[in-house]
Amino acid sequence: MTDAVFPMPWRRALVTGGAGFIGSHLCERLLGSGVEVDCADNLCSGSRENIAALAGHAGFRFVECDVSAPGCRHRLRGPYDLVLHFACPASPADYLRLPLETLDAGSLGTRSLLAVAERDAARFLLASTSEVYGDPLVHPQREDYWGNVNPVGPRSVYDESKRFAEALVTAHVRARDADAGIVRLFNTYGPRMRADDGRAVPTFVRQALDGAPLTVAGDGSQTRSLCYVDDTVEGILLVAASRSVRPVNIGGTDEITVRDLARRVVELTGSRSPVEFVPRPTDDPQRRRPDTRLARELLSWEPRVPWKEGLKQTIDHFVRARRTREPAQRV
């Protein structure tokens, strides 16, 4: 486990969606810094494999439950001094497969967990997303930009779930003086992403390792800004410790076209896979890059892991995972 670069002010934390990609890294980082962790997850998109190494840790407890269900709150006994709400299908493949569950996570789930935080006088932090900006008309995207979202498009179940969750958190701050904040995460990548989750980095890595064509949507000119998971986790915890109630962008400033990202993956895997252009999904954002000035000024945070190092670590993870799943060779 990697220790954080600042002292953790919490004794016990609740991480919902803790068996997911970012959630499991948060659990690991908190435990490595001496914080006890309850991890709640219904495993609709997370995996026990992501938290298998934490299971024997004395300060770790896994609670399998759906935070949107009425009974789940009563199983989260606490007391907590930090509640990190990361429970929500986050990849297109997942939220398109689970549209109603995605909306419930942002509405019922957020309301329930705000109540848990209020019960324990805990700091609450909502994991929001750059998707609240939709297909942005402002570039780069600042926290005071209201966004350009299609409320009835196929991506709306995720976009509007997060926008509503932000409204709930803000209402609790205003009406109940809640100690609650919002972190808007941009494209994060790294080990423990699922190969089939539909996002660009794991899709390209899987295809390159298979020797299959890398499927680039449209002409590939749309951009994304990548941030390695260790940097994202550091930013999340700094926002949690800051007591800020304002939304804070956490994301990379390495803006790259999807086409060039595919080329980077081909180069680093040593693959001979060609690039194949496929139809572009509805409401796919054309440009995406955070304005991270607030994070720099408020938290002294900025990404530190270079893209080449981050992609190498991610590719190595996928290579190791493939080896463990290969059947034993006969001798």
Angle at 152 between CA 247 and CA 276, to 5 degrees: 90
Cross-strand partners of 85: 16, 126
Give Cα 283 to chain centroid, integer Å.
20
Q: Which one of 80, 95, 133, 158 is the catalytic residue?
A: 158
170-178: long-range contacts at Cβ-Cβ below 8 A with a sequence spacing of 24 or more? 170/245, 172/114, 172/118, 172/124, 173/245, 176/118, 178/114, 178/117, 178/118, 178/124
Nearest CA to 170 out of 103, 246, 108 is that of 246
Interatomic CA distance for residues 88 and 67, integer angstroms: 10
Q: In which order are the strands placed within the sheet that holds 188-189?
A: 188-189, 223-228, 254-257
Helical axes 110-120 vs 156-176, angle rounded to 10°? 30
d(CA 148, CA 131): 9
Residue pair 158/89 in contact (Cβ under 8 Å)? The answer is: yes
158 flagged as catalytic: yes
Question: Are the C-beta atoms of residues 125 and 239 closer than 8 Å to each other?
Answer: yes
Can you tell me the distance from the alpha carbon of 125 to that of 209, in angstroms, rounded to the nearest whole number? Answer: 37
Phi, psi angles (nearest 5°) of residue 141: -90, 120
Q: Using CA atoms, how far apart are residues 305 and 323, in angstroms rounded to an integer?
A: 26
Q: How many helices (H) and strands (E) does the chain have?
A: 11, 12
153 by Cβ neighbours in 10 Å (0-12 / 13-18 / 19+) ranks as middle
As annotated, the active-site residues are 158
